[in-house]
Amino acid sequence: MTKDNSQIRAIISGGGTGGHIFPAISIANELKKQISNIEILFVGAEGKMEMEKVPAAGYKIVGLPVAGFQRRLTLKNITFFYKLFASMLKAKKVTREFKPNVVIGVGGYASGPVLRVATNKNIPTLIQEQNSFPGVTNRILSKKVSKICVAYPSMEKFFPQEKIVYTGNPIRQSLLEGITRERAARYFNLDPNKKVVFVTGGSLGARTINEGIKKYIDQFTQNDIQLIWQTGKYYYKSIMEEVSETESIKIMAFVDNMEAAFALADVVVSRAGASSISEMSALQKAVVFVPSPNVSEDHQTKNAKALVDKNAALMIADKDAVEVLVPDVIKLVEDTKKLSELKNNIAQFAMRNASSLIVDEVLALVKKK
């Protein structure tokens, strides 16, 4: 821990999804670990999941009324500019009162107003871009911020090269603490000696993944493969009305013990958000990605393709998932050689100390100022 009598105040801004929030919290935890006298304030979007997850992690958060601009004709865009103006005013007030030494943006439209205010006030700023194809907010901000931490190579296509630092994506440190397969099996009441597939479409769920699993769920039992199925809270009730749990099939809205699920999984089925990819890489999991088609710039497909091109993961298009997901997953589970290749190759994408590298850059900016 850094011994420093002068207090450092940091704002961390962004959010909207777990893919933004969990890295942000990881950065905050590392800041607290390295700096003895630091005050951290989060700024997010009102009504989004950061307003719940950040306080649960022990940090204060302020919400902005900001909303994303829709790329299609919709009435929501009528209120966009009003919300943006109101958010800029609130961001100015928060910045003036909190007096940050540094502002960190983790992506998502909530980071825009605060980073814009900070750059105008000549406050040191850093953005952390999780994806291989940056979002609009970070692309706009990149021209003004002090430093840009990235998780993929060749990002000079999008950002000024002199500002780029390759750090990887922060991941939940609890996932790295390790749990034995036997202990994980006891948690889920499964057999540690049988193969396990862990399906996760994120905290909200993924419709096509769920439909694919539901349609061919009998194939898991027929092939003596165990299943941990995180349906997401939106889909859990309807799925439980149609599908029954068995000794080898565990169905839940949300998996609280992700450490156990990953420790037990021989194959993981997942969306291709940046945080998910970073976690799979650090844990060296064999994974089948089903990129979400409902994200800007189709960046999940680009994220997954970066791994697929290196034989480090498999990818199934969302439109094909209902019909081919389960057959392809079962084929992979039974292909020992392919499993080994994927696990070995995905390790090259692992950056276990990303949070520490990002905090090093933050401290350098504060010291320089």
Domain segments of the chain as ranges: 8-171+352-368, 174-349
pLDDT at 274 over 90: no
Helix ranges, 229-353 (H): 236-242, 258-264, 274-283, 299-308, 321-333, 336-346
- Give CATH superfamily name and number for 174-349: Glycogen Phosphorylase B; (3.40.50.2000)
Residues 6+ apart with CB under 8 A from 225: 194, 195, 196, 197, 248, 330, 333
128 CA to centre of own chain: 12
36 pLDDT tier (thresholds 50, 70, 90): confident
CA angle 155, 158, 164 (to 5 degrees): 50
pLDDT at 324 over 60: yes
pLDDT at 284 over 90: yes
pLDDT at 211 over 50: yes
SS3 content of the chain, % helix, strand, coil (to 5): 50, 15, 35
Say which range, 81-85, 261-265, 276-280, has the weakest mean pLDDT.
81-85
69 pLDDT tier (thresholds 50, 70, 90): low
Half-sphere exposure of 341 (CA within 13 A, CB side): 13
Q: Percentage of the chain surpassing pLDDT 70?
A: 93
CATH of domain 8-171+352-368: 3.40.50.2000
pLDDT the model gives residue 6:
66
Mean of pLDDT over the chain: 90
> Looking at residues 19-39, what average pLDDT do you find?
90
Rounded CA gap, 150 and 231, in Å?
Answer: 31
pLDDT at 31 over 80: yes
